Amino acid sequence: MITEQGIVEEVLGHSVVVRIQRSAACASCDSKGLCRDMADKTMRLELENNIHAKEGDRVEITIRSGALAKISLLLYMIPAVALVVGAYGGARLGGLAGADSTLASIVGGLGAMGAIFYLITRMDKARGVREEFKPRLTRILSGTGVPEISEKERERFDGVLPPP
């Protein structure tokens, strides 16, 4: 499990908007469409409020490690394979058609990779983000208006937490 901490900024019916520090894990997250950018190192994430968190609560957010591996495979490995296969196919077809095989290889590789990215995007929009890839609220770490945290944690949330 990958865990992050954030502050509930807003309650929206059955969901909450949580402000968190952006981490390295965010770059490969399939659920980043749910996030709302705020600044370079902070973001807002809308999540189902399954733990009845209130505005101002410091909460823990988790995503399964296995889900992150699947997302990485989908977003990195499959397009990379498509690039290689497309480049090989482009070179072969270009050679048969009498075209420059290098140019045909580049066009074939980029075309195949672009097609895979297009298919992944279409599948994502059609089916939505799968449940296993969605981050979840797992627990409330501290209640409204009582952020009892260490100075080190406060530095991690610099710009996110209100001043002490």
| Domain annotation covers residue 163 | no
- pLDDT of res. 126: 63
CATH number of the domain at 11, please: 2.40.50
Does 26 score more than 50 pLDDT? yes
Instruction: Write out pLDDT tens, residues 41-100.
Output: 677 888 888 888 888 888 888 877 777 777 777 788 999 999 999 999 999 998 888 888
Q: Say yes or no: 73 and 119 in one domain.
A: yes
Give residue 152's pLDDT band: very low, low, confident or very high (50, 70, 90): low
Two structure tokens written together for 26: 């965010």
Q: Is 140 exposed, middle or buried (0-12, 13-18, 19+ CB in 10 A)?
A: middle
Co-location of 33 and 72 in the same domain: no
Same domain, 72 and 44: no
Residues of the domain holding 30: 2-64+133-156
**What pLDDT shows up at residue 116?**
93
* Cα–Cα distances in angstroms (integers) from residue 6 to residues 1, 34, 59, 64, 156, in the given order: 16, 15, 5, 17, 10
Confirm whether 120 is domain-assigned: yes
Query: What's CA 125's distance to the chain center, in Å?
Result: 15
Q: Do 57 and 20 belong to one domain? A: yes
- Backbone dihedral angles phi then psi of residue 102, each to the nearest 5 degrees: -65, -45
Which residue type does 57 have?
Answer: D
